[in-house]
Chain A
Amino acid sequence: MTSDRHLDGTSPVSGGGGVANRAADHVAHAIDARALTRRFGSFTAVDAITFHVNPGEVFGFLGANGAGKTTAMRMLIGLLAPSDGEAEVAGYSVATESQAIRRNIGYMSQRFSLYDDLTVRENIELFGGIYGLATSEIADRRKALLERLGLASHERDFVKALPLGWKQQLAFSVALLHRPRVVFLDEPTGGVDPITRRRFWEMIYETAAAGTAVLVTTHYLDEAEYCDRLSIMVDGRIAAMGTPDEVKRSAGVSTLDELFLRLTRPGAAA
């Protein structure tokens, strides 16, 4: 995407070659995974994945259902301990400092974002409190948030009464209430109308431009193009990684659809 959004002034790094840069980076990676692995009994859900996300980068985390995306994400947000390998998120180790991670990241998933039976305002106040913000801070940020989303008049509505698009935008803003350095978005735009989807992505860009690293999973391949870099997981491993253009070029295809097909159905005709 843009080369001028990396805070340290470097151009986008290609592939997974973060190791060579680390000594030289004076800005730590927002997310850094090295041979991260997770087994369930004899089944290896995540098989030694290595990647990193820079601050201010939008990273697309793609893969078919069952490829290991969800498990990998759970490890990164500190909900699941790795079986092997290491990872740091916002500078904290996922294996030993999961509490600190959860205080320093934002998270939003399609399945759960806000409490339906609380009002808009109550949700904001709740999460503000959970994130440890002072009451006055919460009030200020609440007002700013609602202004920006155009939801000021809906402050006292129950969240369940909001249309899906507004709910998702609100959930995203709430996930950012405490200005975390890294935010994880799990299929945030599923089922949302095309205009709201794009407005959502504009919010993602603004967030990234402010220096937050964004890791997002999505089933929409056009959204994958909006990412600075992306990875595609197949059977627990990362099968492709890089900027959208890079991954397409190295596979010799012109669309991400084709790439996806190649990777997930290797036997099928191209």
Chain B
Amino acid sequence: MTEPSVDRRVGAPRADGAVPDDGIAVEARGLTKRFGDVLALDRVSFDVRHGELFGFIGPDGAGKTTLFRLLVSLFTPDDGESRVLGLDPVNDLWQLRRRVGYMPGRFSLYPDLTVGENLAFYARVFGTTVDAQKATIEPIWRQLEPFAKRRAAALSGGMKQKLALCCALVHAPDILFLDEPTTGVDAVSRGEFWDLLGRLRAGGLTILVSTPYMDEASRCDRVALLQRGRVLRIDKPAAVSAAYPRPLLSVRGGDRLGMLAILRAHPHAASVWPFGASLHFTDDRPGASPAQIARDLTAWLARQDLPAEVEPIAASIEDAFMWDMLHAEVPA
């Protein structure tokens, strides 16, 4: 964790001691929500500490949006409860709404207002002005300023997301909820967006982000993997990676498709999946030596006229997610 900055920026503990001693910004216990027959959230529980950049990773239908809407008081849960900054979204919603910055999944901007006008509106609604909050939004505003007079509808996807982030921040909230802020945006813009988030976090702001992109998980302090309304696991990205329960190897060779089929027929193949330019091979023997497996596999492939480079690798979040999808036990 980075050291908190010297000057008090947004989200840092307040002088009046409004922050609970245990340092928990958000807690959820057994949150459950149904829409008709669909169980959108199934007994979701977690904690988020102050100043943490916490990621909720999961595909569409995992329940990310529903969860965020519950936490910012837009829905009430069917079961379970939560606290955000010590406040209850069900009963303390007006207090909570003042202190929360929220960026919903869809573009939440007015397309016919300019960048400057959108920002001014959200500032006013929270009883402040853009000028008063210049310091807070500075890193993002610098990138938006050249477009201040452009209508929001005319912005590119990446720019729209930055504007939406700016609008969520403009009233100096104590906590940020960003629901899929990078969806539909190209890879480079996504990277820039996460750079911005890193800078905000360095200023002490607690940030909860949801995303379907597994590679973004590595930029979070901790992540919760969500699938079909359930939490698969919660941990630091490095720990998720380290907890991968079987040896994992990467296989690179000429004919990927052919090799895929052959590797799947290997006697000890727990799973084989394509991963970009290589294949990921998971061995089903828990304690086996990855280096030895690598050598054996190379030889085995060579015997079938398939030269390949095989090496042990650390599991990525995506590897872990896929393993959990197939093997996670149903919680009691």
**Chain A residues packing against B (C-beta within 8 Å):** 1-2, 63-66, 163-165, 190-196, 198, 201, 205, 219, 221-222, 225-226, 244, 256-257, 260-261, 264-265
Interface contact B184-A1, CB-CB below 8 Å? no
Contacts of A1 in B (CB 8 A): 255-257
Given A191-B212, A195-B326, A222:B275 Cβ within 8 A: yes
Given A2-B255, A2-B258, A205-B257, A194:B188 Cβ within 8 A: no
Chain A's closest residue to B319 (CB) is A194
Number of A-B contacts defined by CB within 8 Å: 80
Please report which residues of chain B, range 83-124, place their CB below 8 angstroms from some CB of chain A when the two chains form the complex. Answer: none
- What's the least CB distance linking A204 to chain B, in Å? 11
Of B186, B227, B255, B275, most buried by chain A (CB within 10 Å of CB) is B186
Contacts of B318 in A (CB 8 A): 194
Interface contact A194-B322, CB-CB below 8 Å? yes
* From A193, A205, A219, A226, contact of B186 by CB (8 A): A219
Q: How far is the CA of A14 from the CA of B184 in the complex (A)?
A: 30
Interface contact B185-A65, CB-CB below 8 Å? yes
- What's the least CB distance linking A22 to chain B, in Å? 28
Interface contact A194-B257, CB-CB below 8 Å? no
Q: How far is the CA of A194 from the CA of B322 in the complex (A)?
A: 7
Interface contact A193-B188, CB-CB below 8 Å? no
Given A164-B59, A190-B184, A191-B59, A65:B156 Cβ within 8 A: yes
Interface contact B186-A195, CB-CB below 8 Å? no
Interface contact B277-A65, CB-CB below 8 Å? no
* From B183, B188, B228, contact of A265 by CB (8 A): B188
Contacts of B186 in A (CB 8 A): 63-65, 219, 260, 264
Contacts of B58 in A (CB 8 A): 193
Q: How far is the CA of A163 from the CA of B61 in the complex (A)?
A: 7
Chain A's closest residue to B275 (CB) is A222
Q: How far is the CA of A65 from the CA of B124 in the complex (A)?
A: 32
Contacts of B321 in A (CB 8 A): 193-194
Interface contact B274-A198, CB-CB below 8 Å? yes
Contacts of B227 in A (CB 8 A): 193
Interface contact A261-B60, CB-CB below 8 Å? no
